[in-house]
Each structure stands twice: as structure tokens, then as C-alpha cells.
Structure 1
Amino acid sequence: MVNSQSPYILFVQHGWHDTNRRVHRLGHSLADAQTEVIAPNLGLIKTWWRMEPLVAEVERVAIAAQQRHPDRPWRIVGHSMGGLIWLELLQRHPDWWPQVASVSLVSSPVGGADLGRIFDPYRWGIGIARDLGTDRRQIAEQLAQHMPIQTIASDYDGGSDGTVPIQCSQFRHARYTQLSGIRHDNTKDHPAVITAIQDFWAAPTALAKTLEDPVEDTIIAALQSIPGMTDAHRRDFDRALPWANLDHGFTICTWRHPLSIHHVFLADEQNRCRFAGFVGWPDTRGLYDGLTAIKQRYSAL
């Protein structure tokens, strides 16, 4: 159980193509005088290759910190891939869970980075692309039922922070905070991000917002479960054509990119885009098998 009276350890982790300089500054902006700020520098070049050695390095640092201060509670902040590293670690270390006071994921592609899937559609392991494109939503949702987790996204261009689609940062059971007008690179130390994290720390156990439409969430969950489904930007929604009408006014729409990458969108009764995703070439057939099953299941809700 977290001892809220004890000084904290604050882990802040940078992500891909980055060093710890700016997230270290973020950590010191958040910390009080008693908090120990730990910001491992994984090295810019190493973040291009594989995630597992990066996870191992942060694990080594965390174990050393725990041995130094076994009773101190942890606050964790991860930017972009840094958040994914901590999801991997927390899944592997349930023994750490009682020590975790809060987790804040900032611009983290929890559902799998679309750029990662585009660069490595067959998941051959091209650089870091396969690791970034992996869907960790199930891991995040499980963890969020055991510890307070916040996920922060910014809508910079009508659907993403310029790099990560906002939908990619969303998952169930977490506190979702959406900012606007901040590019991905600037979310690592922006004043609005600092305020959002501080607000979360002030009431980390407050219940996450109840879903406004459970039917919509159920359909989206079914779409997300289709093998290979990756969150996409909503910019191509207007190009899509209706594929199936569902009950409650929902419509599945599809669009094929010129490179034969198949996209799927969910529109509500007001023709607003509620979900955007795509699958890579190997999963195209499975996409339409999955959509057919959804049509059969949700046309009689």
C-alpha cells in the first residue's frame, strides 16, 4: 500500500529518437524538494533499434532505486515510447504495484503507433518499428484496474498531436486528459502537461469518466480486436464510403489507401467519426471477416 506521507521517487522516461534532457526538466518542474527525480538516458541512437534492451536498462535503474528506498512510493511519467517501456515493466513486475502511486502516460501510442505499422507491415522487426507498432491496450487496461493511470493526448491537427493519433492514447479504466494545440515533441515538457499531471496527482483515485455511450464502446472494442487493427488519423474519414449500417445509427465505413492499405471508420448517427483504424497488407482478408462478424452481431442490438 502506498505511503502518501513518505517522500516520492519520480521516474520520468523519454521516448524514441530522444534523450532525457527535456523530460528531466519536466520531472524537476513536477517534483518538490523531497522527491528524488530519476530520468534514465537511454541514448538517442539506441532508441532506433530494439525496445527490449531499453526496458532492461530502465528495469535495472528501478530495481536499484527500490533497493535504496524500499518504502518510498513511486510516481511514473513516460513520454511517448517511454510510457510503453513502463507498461512493459509494470506488467512484468506485479510486485511493484503496491509501490506505484500513479502513472502518467504522455502522448504514448498505447494502441500501437501507426507509423510503426506502416514502416514494418509484416512485423519483420525493422528497427524499432515493430515494437512501436505493438498494441499494448490490453496491458494498459489491466494495469489501470490495479493502479491509478492517466493518459494525456494533444489534438494538434484535428486527430493527432502530429505524430500519435489521439485515439491511440485512449484506453479503458484510465483517466483521460485531452489537450489541444501542442505538437508531439512539445508534450514532453509543456506547461499544460505539467498542470494536467499535477491535477491528477491531487486526486489520482478519482473515478475515470463514465462512458457516454456503452454501445459505441462495445462496437469500438470489437473493431479494436480485429487482428492487425491499428489506430489511424481521422483525416481520411470524408473519403470513406458506407460499408454496413448498424443499429443505434452507427455506420461502418471503409476506404482503401492508394497503397492498398484498407481503413475502417465508425460513424455515429450525426455522421461524426468515432473510430478510425487500418490494417496492414497481411491482415486485409481478416479485416473483412471481422467486419462481417461485427455486422452480424451488432445489426440487432
Structure 2
Amino acid sequence: MNYRPDFILFAQHGWADTNEEIRKLATKLANDKTLIISPNLGCLKTWLSMEPLIEKVTEQAEEISQKYPQTPWRIMGHSMGGLIWLEILHQNPQWWGKIHSLVLIGSPVGGADLARIIDPLSIGVGVAADLGKNRRLQADRITKIVPTLVIAGNSDNGSDGTIPISSTKLTYSYFVCLPNISHSQLKNHPTLVDVIEKFWETSPTPALFEKDFPTVLIERLQLIPGMTDAHSRDFEKAKAYLNFERGISIKLWKNPLNVLHVFVSSEQEQCLYAGFVGWIHSDGLYQGLEAIHQDYYELVIHGLD
């Protein structure tokens, strides 16, 4: 009798890593009828470019699709591994219908701030340009169709020590933030097993989302060229730039290097979003803020200094 798995579980490791830890996580999640596919891309190769890594994983996915055309897929990726799969699915929409679920673990979908600092002009300093890319628009197209769970860690009240929580969030996804768990621990932390299993057990469907006004503001800011999601640690240093009804405000702060940081604040003075732009995009940020001002002028009370 030919072997036919119930599920294909793709488990992809990320940058500066091998598949050892993510495969352990996949093994804990799998049953006897799960076929695990966990390509080892080579730790050194993950420092160079994502393109050959995407090609390698795509080749394996094509082979599996041909061998088991009716078997549903479960996909999970840690950090850059999640970005690799977003690129693959963006390039292969014919696979979306066979995907049971997508789990992104500590993946900087909005762009990794560390990568943007290393390669602010996206000129191609190793893999930094790939990691700093904002993939939210293509992710939204995918996650409207493919049930998606986003898992973030929070080890320092704003990030997992490497990836800001805000850069992992997507509009059309379920979101879980795990306290006191670092980026490296997210590869194979025992808590993940329970979180992912509960998500799978729900027979997940794409997340429905009704946008509130702060979400609209955040999305507008994220579309400004050069905007990179950031840690909220400097929120209290920022001053109000635009104030809206219901106590919502946009605040600005320049660090000692004159890098502009922008924050969305709630009525309770809680940080709802943090981002920054490099020097070359500062004018664009002010232009974007002026456009927001004009679009919502009936709500705006001037807070310019």
C-alpha cells in the first residue's frame, strides 16, 4: 500500500541558523501521518541572499505537490523562514487553496529594523536588503485567503530582543504574543506547541478584521517610503505632532543621530505603533504626515511645534 500522509508540514528555519531546532518543533507537532519537510539551507548561505534559498525551498515544494497533489499543507517559518514562505506563496498563488494554515514565528514582515540600520539604502549589503523589505501588501493578499497565525515574542517590552513586535503583525491574521521569550527561543519553545496545536484544532479560517481609526493611521504610516517598524522604548521622549479626536495622536522624536521616529499614541498615552525613517526619507515622512493631516483635517487639532 502506498504511503499517503494526512498533512505535509513545511518547517523552515531562518537567518544564521540550520533546520535542527525548527525540525524538533515540527516533530513535536506532527503525528504518524504527517510528512515533515524541513530544508536545511546552510547557515552561511543565509547571510548572502534570499533568492537562492527561495528557489531551493520552492523546488522541494513543487516535488511534494506533484507527489501528493491532494494532501493539504501546514506551513510554519521562524524569522526569515517565514519571509521565504511569503515570497514563495506570492510567486505561486496556485498553491494557496491547498494550504490548511500558515504560522509565522518572529518573522519581520514589515521589515527588520536591524537590517535597515545595516543597509539603509537597500543597496544590497548581504541579506540585509532582503530582511529590511516591507512585505505587508503581498502578505495581506495571501492572508486574506490562507488562515494565518502570527506568533511574536516579548522579552523587553517591545521586541523579542531582535525583532520588534510591531513588525510581525498583519491585518488579516490571528496574533499571539508570548511574554519572556526571546527570538532564538521562539525556534523551539515548549509554549509554541500548545499555541500552534490550538490554532490547528479550530479548523482555522482567514481572520476577519474591522479597521479602527488607529489602525488606519498605522497603515498610512507604514506605507510611507522608508518607514521601518521600531521598538517603542523611546515613546515617552516624543512630542505630539498631530492630535485627533478620542485622544489619538501622532508623535515625533529625533534621536541623537537626527533619525526621525514616529509613534501613534492612544488616549491613555499608550504606544500603539513605533517606526522610524532614515535621513533620506525624512522629507517623505513630513509629506506623508501632511497628507494624513489633509485627509483627516476635520479631526485634527494642530500640535505642531
3-state SS in 1 of match to 2:234: helix
Alpha-carbon deviations, 1:251-270, whole Å to 9, x = none?
A: 11111121221100011111
2:109 & 2:181 partners in 1: Cα distance? 19
1:59 & 1:250 partners in 2: Cα distance? 44
| Partner in structure 2 of residue 222 of structure 1 | 220
1:59 & 1:201 partners in 2: Cα distance? 24
Checking the alignment, whether the CA contact within 8 Å between 2:148 and 2:206 is kept in structure 1 is no
Q: 1:232 aligns with which of 230, 233, 239?
A: 230
Checking the alignment, whether the CA contact within 8 Å between 1:219 and 1:298 is kept in structure 2 is no
Residue 269 of structure 1 pairs with residue 261 of structure 2: no
Deviation at 1:295, TM superposition (A): 2.1
For structure 1, list consecutive stretches of 5 or more residues without a partner in the other structure. none
Checking the alignment, whether the CA contact within 8 Å between 2:153 and 2:182 is kept in structure 1 is yes
| Partner in structure 1 of residue 138 of structure 2 | 139
1:237-276 aligned within 5 A: 237-276=235-274
| Partner in structure 2 of residue 60 of structure 1 | 59
Deviation at 1:207, TM superposition (A): 6.0
Deviation at 1:220, TM superposition (A): 1.1
3-state SS in 1 of match to 2:181: coil
2:252 & 2:113 partners in 1: Cα distance? 17
1:169 & 1:39 partners in 2: Cα distance? 22
1:147 & 1:255 partners in 2: Cα distance? 38
Alpha-carbon deviations, 1:138-190, whole Å to 9, x = none?
A: 11111011111111111111000111111111011111111111000000111
TM-score of the superposition, structure 2-length normalised? 0.94
2:225 & 2:213 partners in 1: Cα distance? 21
Checking the alignment, whether the CA contact within 8 Å between 1:121 and 1:282 is kept in structure 2 is no
Q: Greater CA deviation, 291-300 or 53-62?
A: 291-300
Identity of aligned residues (%): 46
Residue 33 of structure 1 pairs with residue 32 of structure 2: yes
| Partner in structure 1 of residue 69 of structure 2 | 70
Checking the alignment, whether the CA contact within 8 Å between 1:254 and 1:265 is kept in structure 2 is yes
Q: Which amino acid aligns with 1:84?
A: L
| Partner in structure 1 of residue 303 of structure 2 | none
| Partner in structure 2 of residue 208 of structure 1 | 207
| Partner in structure 1 of residue 286 of structure 2 | 288
Checking the alignment, whether the CA contact within 8 Å between 1:165 and 1:232 is kept in structure 2 is yes
Checking the alignment, whether the CA contact within 8 Å between 2:23 and 2:38 is kept in structure 1 is yes
| Partner in structure 1 of residue 175 of structure 2 | 176
Query: What count of residue pairs does the alignment treat as equivalent?
Result: 296
1:159 & 1:300 partners in 2: Cα distance? 32
Checking the alignment, whether the CA contact within 8 Å between 2:116 and 2:129 is kept in structure 1 is yes
Aligned-residue CA RMSD in angstroms?
A: 1.4
Deviation at 1:239, TM superposition (A): 1.2
Q: Which amino acid aligns with 2:154?
A: D
Q: Which amino acid aligns with 1:259?
A: L
1:31 & 1:292 partners in 2: Cα distance? 51
Q: Which amino acid aligns with 1:248?
A: R
Q: Which amino acid aligns with 1:86?
A: W
2:145 & 2:252 partners in 1: Cα distance? 37
Q: 1:297 aligns with which of 280, 295, 298?
A: 295
| Partner in structure 1 of residue 23 of structure 2 | 24
Q: Greater CA deviation, 201-210 or 276-285?
A: 201-210
| Partner in structure 1 of residue 8 of structure 2 | 9
Alpha-carbon deviations, 1:2-44, whole Å to 9, x = none?
A: xxx9610100000000000000101100000010101000000
Q: Which amino acid aligns with 2:259?
A: I
Deviation at 1:204, TM superposition (A): 4.0
1:184-203 aligned within 5 A: 184-203=183-202
Q: Which amino acid aligns with 1:26?
A: L
Residue 95 of structure 1 pairs with residue 86 of structure 2: no
Deviation at 1:192, TM superposition (A): 1.0
Q: Which amino acid aligns with 2:271?
A: C
For structure 2, list consecutive stretches of 5 or more residues without a partner in the other structure. 300-305
